[in-house]
Amino acid sequence: MNFKSKQVLIGFLSIVIAAIVFLVFNLTKTSNHIAKKGEVPVIIGFVQLGSESAWRSANSASVKSAAVDKGISLIFKNAEGSQKLQKQLIRDFIIQQVDVIIFPPLVADGWDEILAEAKEAGIPVIISDRRIIVKNPDSYSVFVGADFASEGRKAGKWLVNNTSHSSAVNIVELEGLAGSSPAIDRAKGFRQEIVNHPNMKIIESVPGDFIKVKGKLAMKKLLKKYGGNINVVYSHNDDMALGAIEAIKDYGLRPGKDILIVSVDGEKAALQAIKDGESNVSVECTPLLGPVLMQTARKLLNKEKLPKSIIMEEKTFTIKNVDKELPLRTY
Ligand code: AHR
């Protein structure tokens, strides 16, 4: 073998070794847990949808720490707001033959094909956090998350109960990501409650994609257009509501007093805003899904019978209970 061929061979072998090290590292990196006696080793592939909010960061942290606690090897990937990438990462997990795939779908539609691929490969899928619309409901095993329509209804009900004396209630709505189930269902549930109250009117709905800066920008524009004629902000999540609070203060009005703030999530910062009198209500949507997800994955692999949907219990936070709840919030 001449010198040049030797160099080519060494180069090729280095690439093969690097690929093996990369694969082994990726398959083991997030688990420090040593499997207990009798525990079957489990590998879960989790594809997070993005990093748009404080809620999302808390959700990612919950999944990672629950995997360590339950002795599960977790391969965690993030699609950073791209459905195309989320599907690609799911496909990678199918090729790797993980035991269970879990993913919170960025949007509700467009998952039929990839779920059929997972089914064909015999890999059970848990849908987490956000609901999906599929032709074949058997294409995934279980849904674990919240009832977003009920959250919208709770928000609407609070508003109805607290503005019944007002002759006109002008509402602006900050919408979550278009096509995502929390945006669709929170809009629907809220309307179901206010529809029979002619004093209540949604004067404009604008997208804010669940992102704080987008909520602030949208609110700034709405204030420019409607000024003090806005009575209520209904925001599909806390982050956008917190952005709107900043915009209202910059405009010279008092959030929580001149303009009521109604939002969803129950993040620590939103609870603090309620305590400070700058927000009025936050309907809880818990991001702490990790322990239930890990438990559900194990049950699935043990072939235990499971309900199709596991819905989390959630509260509503106002000035009446915020003092009790605030010290308990971790996110
Ligand atoms: O899917 C849950 C929603 O997504 C949360 O309400 C929101 O904050 C997040 O971005």
% the chain with pLDDT above 90: 87
Could you identify the atom of ligand 1 that is nearest to the CA of residue 181? 1
Residues 6 or more apart whose Cβ sits within 8 Å of residue 113: none
**What is the pLDDT, as a whole number, of residue 28?**
41
Would the pLDDT of 201 be above 80?
yes
Confidence at 34, pLDDT banded by 50, 70, 90: very low
Rounded to the nearest angstrom, the distance between the alpha carbon of 157 and the centre of ligand 1 is: 21
Would the pLDDT of 140 be above 50?
yes
Residues with CB under 6 Å of ligand 1 are: 52-53, 55-56, 129-130, 182, 210, 237, 239, 264-265, 285
Contact 144, 214 (CB under 8 A): no
Rounded to the nearest angstrom, the distance between the alpha carbon of 207 and the centre of ligand 1 is: 14
Rounded to the nearest angstrom, the distance between the alpha carbon of 286 and the centre of ligand 1 is: 9
Q: Which residue has the higher pLDDT, 212 or 15?
A: 212
| Token duo for residue 43 | 């590998």
Rounded to the nearest angstrom, the distance between the alpha carbon of 183 and the centre of ligand 1 is: 9
**Candidate of 53, 80, 143 to mutate for ligand 1, largest count of ligand atoms within 8 Å of Cβ:** 53
pLDDT digits (tens, 9 = 90+) for 85-130: 999 999 999 999 999 999 999 999 999 999 999 999 999 999 999 9
Would the pLDDT of 30 be above 70?
no
| Token duo for residue 112 | 């039929």
Rounded to the nearest angstrom, the distance between the alpha carbon of 184 and the centre of ligand 1 is: 12
Average pLDDT over residues 70-82: 97
The dihedrals phi and psi of 136, each to the nearest 5 degrees, come to -110, 105
Average pLDDT over residues 54-58: 98
Average pLDDT over residues 284-300: 98
Q: What is d(CA 101, CA 66) in angstroms, rounded to the nearest whole number?
A: 15
Residue 126 parent element (H or E): strand 125-129
Mean per-residue pLDDT over the chain, rounded:
92
Would the pLDDT of 309 be above 70?
yes
User: How are the residues of the chain apportioned to helix, strand and coil, as percentages rounded to the nearest 5?
Assistant: 45, 20, 35
Query: Nearest Cα to 166, choosing from 130, 190, 199, 192?
Result: 199
Could you identify the atom of ligand 1 that is nearest to the CA of residue 50? 10
